[in-house]
């Protein structure tokens, strides 16, 4: 790469408005893990803060949704909006490491995430909970968030809880492992800055960018 070339800017802002939610998301893939999160769901805010802090992606999320019904739409749509912002910030995905993985301990819990920013979305979810809720959030909604994120980000994503007893530790370790794996995958490889990491020359089809 030309030493005089302008530095790569990998930022994106997404506005998602439906009859159920209104969500604004901004990301900077080359940030320092700064965040400002407000979804109206305290536990989801806590998880997204972990995602930002441990991936070093600067993340702003402002969401209002039909929480008088339940947290489903806000949770799913925040995953869509964040995934869409990541996909847009990645652009044609030139130069990225593409793959990332992390096995992350949290006290008695061990979780594993492996991902491929292939532009071919897929989720494998092997995580079980013994409680229906954490704070005010239904534990069944965590899978919905990861599914929405993977679909919108164009990410093949495998999430597995290897063992654990504390439900808070189980899901927090999954978010932190996602963050660490994502941090690896979005890094620019200095050996192939101008190359798409695929023998096809492109990754997947068109950008997912789910509206």
Query: Between residues 29 and 208, which one has the greater pLDDT?
Result: 29
Give the C-alpha separation, 39 to 18, whole Å.
15
Where do we find the tokens 């979005």?
186
Q: What are 85-100's pLDDT values in tens digits?
A: 999 999 999 999 999 9
> How confident is the model over 172-185, as a mean pLDDT?
98
> Per DSSP, what are the bridge partners of residue 161?
111
* Residue 18 confidence (pLDDT): 96
Q: What are 35-87's pLDDT values in tens digits?
A: 999 999 999 999 999 999 999 999 999 999 999 999 999 999 999 999 999 99
* Residue 206 confidence (pLDDT): 45
Query: Between residues 72 and 202, which one has the greater pLDDT?
Result: 72
* Residue 2 confidence (pLDDT): 47
Q: Tell whether the model's pLDDT for residue 209 goes beyond 50.
A: no
* Residue 84 confidence (pLDDT): 98
* Residue 193 confidence (pLDDT): 83
Q: Tell whether the model's pLDDT for residue 1 goes beyond 50.
A: no
Q: Produce one character per residue of 28-54: b if its CB has 16 or more CB atoms within 10 Å, e if not.
A: bbbbebebebebbbebbbbbbbbbbbb
Domains along the sequence of the chain with CATH: 11-186 (3.30.230.40)
Q: Tell whether the model's pLDDT for residue 6 goes beyond 50.
A: no
Give the C-alpha separation, 122 to 147, whole Å.
8
Six-digit token pair at 15? 């506005």
Query: Between residues 144 and 203, which one has the greater pLDDT?
Result: 144
Q: What are 101-160's pLDDT values in tens digits?
A: 999 999 999 999 999 999 999 999 999 999 999 999 999 999 999 999 999 999 999 999
CB atoms within 10 A of CB 149: 25
DSSP 75-125: HHHHHHHHHHHHHHHHTT-TTB--EEEEEEEETTEEEEEEEE-SS--EEEE
Residue 93: C-alpha distances to residues 28, 80, 176 (Å): 15, 19, 23
């Amino acid at each position: 790469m030309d030493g005089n070339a302008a530095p790569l800017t990998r930022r994106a802002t997404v506005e998602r408005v439906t009859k159920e939610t209104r969500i604004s998301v901004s990301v900077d893939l080359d940030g320092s893990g700064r965040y400002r999160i407000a979804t109206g769901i305290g536990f989801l805010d806590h998880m997204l803060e972990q995602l930002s802090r441990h991936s070093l992606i600067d993340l702003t999320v402002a969401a209002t949704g039909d929480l008088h019904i339940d947290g489903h739409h806000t949770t799913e749509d925040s995953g869509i909006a964040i995934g869409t912002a990541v996909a847009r910030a990645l652009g044609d995905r030139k130069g990225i490491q593409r793959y990332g993985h992390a096995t992350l301990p949290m006290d008695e819990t061990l979780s594993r995430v492996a991902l491929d920013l292939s532009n071919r979305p897929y989720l494998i979810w092997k995580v079980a909970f013994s409680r229906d809720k954490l704070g005010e959030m239904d534990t069944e909604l965590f899978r919905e968030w990861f599914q929405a994120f993977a679909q919108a980000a164009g990410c093949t994503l495998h999430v597995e809880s290897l063992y654990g007893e504390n439900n808070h530790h189980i899901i927090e370790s999954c978010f932190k492992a996602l963050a660490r794996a994502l941090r690896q995958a979005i890094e620019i490889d200095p050996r192939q800055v101008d190359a798409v990491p695929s023998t096809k020359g492109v990754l997947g089809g068109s950008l997912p960018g789910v509206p």
